Amino acid sequence: MIVREIGIILVFAGLLGIIIRLLKQPTILAYVLAGVIVGPLALGLISHTEVITELSELAAVIMLFVIGIEMDLSRLKKVGLVAIAGGAIQVGLMFMIGFGVSKVFNLNNTEASYMGFVIAFSSTMLVVKVLGEKYDLSTLYGRISMGIVIMQDILAIFALSVLGKKNKKGLSIEYVLNT
């Protein structure tokens, strides 16, 4: 049963991938559309969502591993300062905007922090996939973009460690933000 569902996913993703490529769009769009179409929101062809979720997490880990293998750190060194500064500024500004907008909607500090971080961090996999499809990973803007998303990933690790810390009352982000 699960093999049939994986086959359905692959066929839909492949067919949509061909169509999306003919429209000169990033193929990652096809994968998202395939998930929406075969998932519970549309056709409902997938019933083992837990297994599919586990497989997708494994695929994400493998893709990040491949990105790590292909990454040329010597090229990133050349744009290091721009990437570090650009990444830190981008994350900081987007976090503040997300946090501020969340507070306008009366979210508490913890909820507003999560929303700020969601808005601040882009997907490394998405950026690498789009740049790779355009053969722009080795260009100057490709290297700067990669440096920025790597900086975002590093900052995301720190953000998750702060949000994940627990005290007697729950998440410590409330304590951090109120002191």
What does the pLDDT read at residue 73? 66
Residues 6+ apart with CB under 8 A from 95: 116, 117, 119, 120
Per-residue pLDDT, 148: 84
Q: What is the pLDDT of residues 136-156, one digit of tens each?
A: 878 888 888 888 888 888 788
Question: What token pair was written down for 52?
Answer: 């599919």
Look at residue 97 in the predicted model and tell me its pLDDT: 94
Summarize pLDDT for 26-70 with one digit per residue, the tens: 888 888 888 888 888 888 888 877 877 888 778 777 777 776 676
**Which single residue is written with the structure tokens 């729950």?**
170
Q: Does pLDDT of 88 surpass 70?
A: yes
Give pLDDT, residue 67: 67
- Answer whether 87's CB lies under 8 Å from 152's CB: yes
